[in-house]
Chains A and B, each alone.
Chain A
Amino acid sequence: MMNRRETLQRLALLAGGTLAYSTLAGLMGGCRARPGAPRVQLSEEAFEALAALCERIIPETDTPGARAAGVPEFIDHMLKDWYYAAERIHFLDGLEAARRKARQMHGQDIPALPAEAQDALLGALQQESQNTPVREVVIDRTTGAIVERPDTYDEDLAAGRSPRRIRVVLRPFFRMLKELTVVGYYTSEVGAMANLKVSYMPGRFDLPGHYDGCIPYDEVGRPLL
């Protein structure tokens, strides 16, 4: 029987190793949004502006930043395939507005600005987002376009069919950007492995995990994945 410290060390060692999950992940479609993946939605310029903002939200420190974790590629991918058209347009409009603001304030697009100016821009966007209410709109599910109310959601579900119109919430650009950056970073292999603790060995049933209900935080050292 291993003691806890040994188990933790062993798990930590293995967590850094390569895991034979590529086949399964491939079958599942995996996540194509890895660092350096080709753009699927954004123009090169817009992508670079987005990447610069993500990197200021989660910068490189002693652990990798948003860019090295593939966060901009993740957002690009989500914009194309996860969001409905109205949401995508809302985000892209927000990104364009941020780039315009950078040019107005500093005469240059976001990537060319020094870090302090990028931070000032994000600060301004954050403040703006706090004064902007979320907007609930009704969209047509097949086109993703905003349509007139009322929606048919409740009525469709009650009749046992897929909703033709649904309600979606359009949050201020900064809040969408920040949520996507945080989620994209901590759900990436690079971000999670560098900042969090994996408490069991995926796929390894010969290395059973265990549960400790109350131990000093220092013995774990990082938040659990």
Chain B
Amino acid sequence: MKKSVHVARQPEVYDAIVVGSGISGGWAAKELCEAGLKTLVLERGRNVRHGTDYITEHLRPWEMPFRGRGDRQKMIEDQFIQRQAGPVNAYNAHFFVNDRENPYTYEPDKPFLWIRGYQVGGRSITWGRQCYRWSDLDFEANAREGIGVDWPIRYKDIAPWYDYVERFAGISGQAEGLPQIPDGVFLPPMAMNCVEEHLKKRVEQTFPERHVTIGRCAILTRPHNGRAACHYCGDCSRGCTPGAYFCSLSTTLPAAARTGNLTLRPNSIVHSIIYDEEKDRATGVRVIDRESREMLEFYGRIIFLCASTLGSTFILLNTRTPRFPNGLGNSSGVLGHYLMDHHFRAGASAEFPGFTDRYYYGHRPNGIYIPRFRNLGDKATRRGDFLRGFGYEAGASRGSWWRGAEMDGFGVHLKEALREPGPWRIWMTAFGEMLPRYENYVELDDSVHDAWGLPVLRFHCTLGENERNMRRDMMTAAAEMLEAAGFVKIRPYDLDYTPGEGIHEMGTARMGRDPKTSILNGFNQMHEVPNVFVTDGSCMTSSACQNPSITYMALTARAAHYAVDQMKKGNL
């Protein structure tokens, strides 16, 4: 290794280095620490202390600047990308990045929304919390249809790890016996409201292949592993002091810390991986200290990249060595390619004319789910116009005072009208699978640099014909269910999705059986650099249509146990 006068040497060699502290990094930290490995977790963002730093938790509009509408001018200047994403609001904007400090580029007519949370806990603070297992319908799809490469794993390989992570994380949901979203280890399900129950009944009567279930979510419906049950304030993404939803800060990082094996270092931006040509191994990582801007090195026997899909891929692309001039472990040339997301914002909304004397109490931070019902492998569900499928997230509620801003009229009449809840409304939006395509990719862009002088990513990503065809069905199928259930004012919509907007970015360092066409093997281990594991969304070989985080948790736990086992056997 070359010595540099600018490099401050850190003498300690850790058993493991984990890059990132979000959903995947938290799990890697917990599993490696519990196995007895001295583990260094590097987080590029600031520290966030569980509870103490949830500065907007339970604040009400009148306690917020601009009554919770956010400092618009500042957001347009500093968060010009982040502010475009649905989940980002004035109450959680401090958990999303500053876009001026963390830029990226794309062609103006091919926008990509890269929504990021650079802090301890990552996006596990603000995630959507929906958890659906994948099945062999998903793991076998590429092989069956000759798309991309085959997954090197099947459901049986990951099923026990789903059990394992669900048991610890706490997932509430209803067992349904549906093969496309296998049942898991569930806490009691949350309740549906009257209109959702009605929809369920009618849909299941009318369409035998369609089912309506309460959202399966990483929110506790009873106390679990020392964390409290949900109190239904409904504002999870501000942080939850009782730890009622799964978040690294409340759940995995404390477990890792309890072992005494965890060292957590915030403000540590990983520049690249240190690769030793002679040993043919990674020996550590180069880090830029976010505050001092000093370049540091940290050493470890194994490295887990859990820096988020594009964060991890950036680190690999930015690791350019004589053996790997195009990025670490990238002899195949597929690193950065096959970028996917879930395309959404297509579905239908409507009103329900009944149940006017019924209401609900509390803010349920969850919706209902209609699992995939297209292309399930039988003739009846086969579509000629697209492959794969989509699932709907949906929810019914009664109108709030917000409708007053757009209603006609003013005065006593308006005020009295707003003292009653509005009519029941429902929205349904499909989340659709996106096929892995080589032409959807990221590359390093050396013409623009971030606030620490690093090159940035340049995005090339658009929807293909399969997704465009699917979007038509996402509208039609929603509208026909609402019609069958007696809804009125049915409005099918396609609100023009921008890639990345699903905040489910996946792929770019995919798993596969063949080192010539993939970066990682079936244990998330780099084919070419076996002591580096990548267990976040970048490993995904296809995208399915289910929310991916629970799969990252399971893959991470599985990879960590494999790595520990290999170390014990002397193979790593």
Contacts and interface: CB of A to CB of B under 8 A. Distances in A.
Contacts of B108: 154-155, 157-158
A189 interface: yes
A174 B328 CA distance: 60
B232 A158 contact: no
Contact of B80 (A163, A186, A203): A163
B178 interface: no
B107 A200 contact: no
Contact of B363 (A156, A195, A200): A200
Given A21-B63, A141-B77, A183-B405, A209 B418 contact: no
Interface string B92-129: 00000001100111111101000000000000000000
Nearest to B66: A82
A219 B361 CA distance: 9
- Counting chain B residues whose Cβ lies within 8 A of the other chain, the interface size class is 35 or more
Interface stretch (A42-50, A54-62, A93-101, A105-113): A54-62
Contacts of A157: 80-81, 108, 111
Interface string B67-84: 111011100111011000
B363 to A, nearest CB: 6
Given A24-B55, A30-B65, A202-B58, A214 B404 contact: no
A37 interface: no
A199 interface: yes
A27 B55 contact: yes
A184 B76 CA distance: 22
Given A28-B59, A210-B232, A82 B72 contact: yes
A223 B420 CA distance: 6
A169 interface: no
Contacts of A25: 59, 63
Contacts of B73: 81-82, 84, 141
Interface in A52-71: 56-59, 61, 63
- Counting chain A residues whose Cβ lies within 8 A of the other chain, the interface size class is 35 or more
Nearest to B61: A187
A114 interface: no
A166 B77 CA distance: 11
Contacts, number: 222
B401 A209 contact: no
Contact of A31 (B63, B76, B103, B197): B63
B63 A30 contact: yes
A158 B80 contact: no
Nearest to A119: B411
Given A158-B106, A212-B191, A214-B194, A192 B63 contact: no
Interface in B170-223: 190-194, 196-197
A217 B58 CA distance: 25
Contacts of B63: 21, 24-25, 28, 30-31
Contacts of B192: 213
A31 B361 contact: no
Contacts of B362: 199-200, 209-212
B361 A212 contact: yes
B326 interface: no
Contacts of A192: 60-62
Interface in B364-414: 364, 398, 400-401, 404-406, 408-412, 414
A20 B473 CA distance: 51
Contacts of B406: 179
B456 interface: yes
Contacts of B58: 200, 202-203
Interface stretch (B274-282, B288-296, B352-360): B352-360
B363 A224 contact: yes
Nearest to B193: A213
B96 to A, nearest CB: 15
Contacts of A222: 419
Given A205-B241, A220-B359, A186 B404 contact: yes
A28 B63 CA distance: 8
A57 B410 contact: yes
A213 B59 contact: no
Contacts of A59: 411-412, 415
A77 B196 CA distance: 41
B85 interface: no
Interface of A: 4, 8, 21, 24-25, 27-31, 33, 56-59, 61, 63, 74, 77-78, 81-82, 84, 119, 122, 126, 141, 154-163, 166, 178-179, 182-184, 186-189, 192, 195-196, 198-200, 202-203, 205, 208-220, 222-225
Given A200-B233, A211-B363, A214-B191, 17 more contacts: A24-B55, A28-B65, A31-B66, A59-B412, A61-B415, A63-B415, A160-B105, A163-B76, A192-B60, A192-B61, A195-B415, A199-B232, A200-B362, A205-B241, A214-B197, A223-B401, A224-B361
26 contacts: A25-B59, A25-B63, A27-B55, A28-B55, A28-B56, A31-B66, A56-B411, A57-B411, A63-B415, A77-B66, A81-B66, A122-B411, A158-B105, A160-B448, A162-B77, A162-B99, A163-B76, A186-B404, A195-B418, A200-B231, A211-B230, A211-B360, A212-B362, A213-B196, A217-B356, A219-B359
